[in-house]
Amino acid sequence: LLLLLLAPWGPRVSGELRRWPVPYRRFDYRPKTDPYCQARYTFCPTGSAIPLMKEEDVIEVYRLQAPVWEFKYGDLLGHLKIMHDAVGFKSSLTGKNYTMEWYELFQLGNCTFPHLRPGMDAPFWCNQGAACFYEGIDNAHWKANGTLVLVTTISGTMFNEMAQWVKHDNDTGIYYETWTVQASPDKKSTVWFDSYECSKFILRTYQKLADLGAVFKKIQTNYTSIILFSGEPVYLGNETSIFGPQGNKTLAAAIRDFYNPFKPHRSVREFFVDLFKIIDRVILNRQFYLFYNLEYWFLPMKSPYLKIIYEEVPLPVGNKASFGV
C-alpha cells in the first residue's frame, strides 16, 4: 500500500527503462561549506599540493589500508572488516614519501544522516568528501593493524598525469555516498545505487594508473562495502518538490520522522529508545529513505536489510608492454 501511495512522485520515464545503478552525479564546482557543519577531527590537517615529479623519476605505489578510526580504537573496527583505504607513493629521485586518500569533511555520521534543525523544514546535510594529499607515510598506522604493500611502479610522467586527473575527479565528485543498495546478497543481483567513498577513490586511482600504462602485481585486494538490501526504489523528488511551498507535507513529515532517531545522542537511554525506533522502521516496517544525488528515494527494505562485506576487487590489468613491475 505504501508503494502505491508513493508511486505518483516517481520519475516519468517514457520510451526507455530506468538505468540501474543510478549514475553518481558530478558537479561543475564545489560549494562553500556552511559554518554550521563542524568536524570533530580536522579534515586533511597537514595537506599539501601534489608535487610535479621529474619525468625520469621512478615512483613506487603502495596499497594502504587500516581499520577505520585506527588512531583512536586500534584494530577494533578491523574485526568487523570496516577498513579505510589510501595510496602511497615513494620517489626514487628524492626519497620522499607521500600519502593520498579521500574521506569525509565532517566525519561519516554527517555524510550518512542529516540534521533536523529548528525552523527548517528540509533536513540539513553536512556532506562533502574530498581528496587529501600530504608528505609522508605513517608506517606504524598502516602496518600495525592493516596493509602497506607495493602494488606497482610508475614514471614521473604518469604520476603528473594522474595528478591532473585527481584534481578533476576531486572538483567534480563532491558528495560522499555511504550506502551501496542492491536487490539481494547474490553477487549478480541488481545494484540500485553504488557508494562513493574512500575505497572507490582508490579503485578509480588504480584504474587511472592502469589506463596510463601501470602494470600491477598479482596480489589479493579486498575492500569494505556497507550494503542495504531493497526492492526496486521509488523516486520521491528533491528538496524543493518535497519540502518547498508547493511540496507534499505528508511525505515531508514522513522523511523528517524517519531521520529523527539517527540524530546524535546525549544519553544511553536516548540511544536505546531511538535504536528501537530504527529497528521498527527499517526492519519491522521495511522502510528506508535514501538521499542520493540531492534527491530522495524510498527503499522497500528486504532481508537481510544490511550487511557489511569485505570483498575482493582485483587490481586492474595494465598493458604488459608499458612501464611497470
- Which residue numbers are catalytic? 84, 198
Q: Record the cell numbers describing residue 127, joined without a space.
A: 556532506
| Cα Dmax for the chain | 66
Please report how many Cα atoms fall inside a 13 Å half-sphere around the Cα of residue 29, on the Cβ side.
3
DSSP string, 256-281: HHHHGGGS--SSHHHHHHHHHHHHII
Using CA atoms, how far residue 202 sits from 1, 14, 18, 125, in Å, is 42, 37, 28, 25
Number of continuous H segments (helices) and E segments (strands) in the chain: 9, 11
> Given the DSSP bridges, would you call strands 191-193 and 83-91 parallel, antiparallel or unpaired?
unpaired
- Please state at what angle helix 156-172 crosses helix 198-212, rounded to 10 degrees: 140
Residue 139 CA to residue 218 CA, distance in Å, equals 22
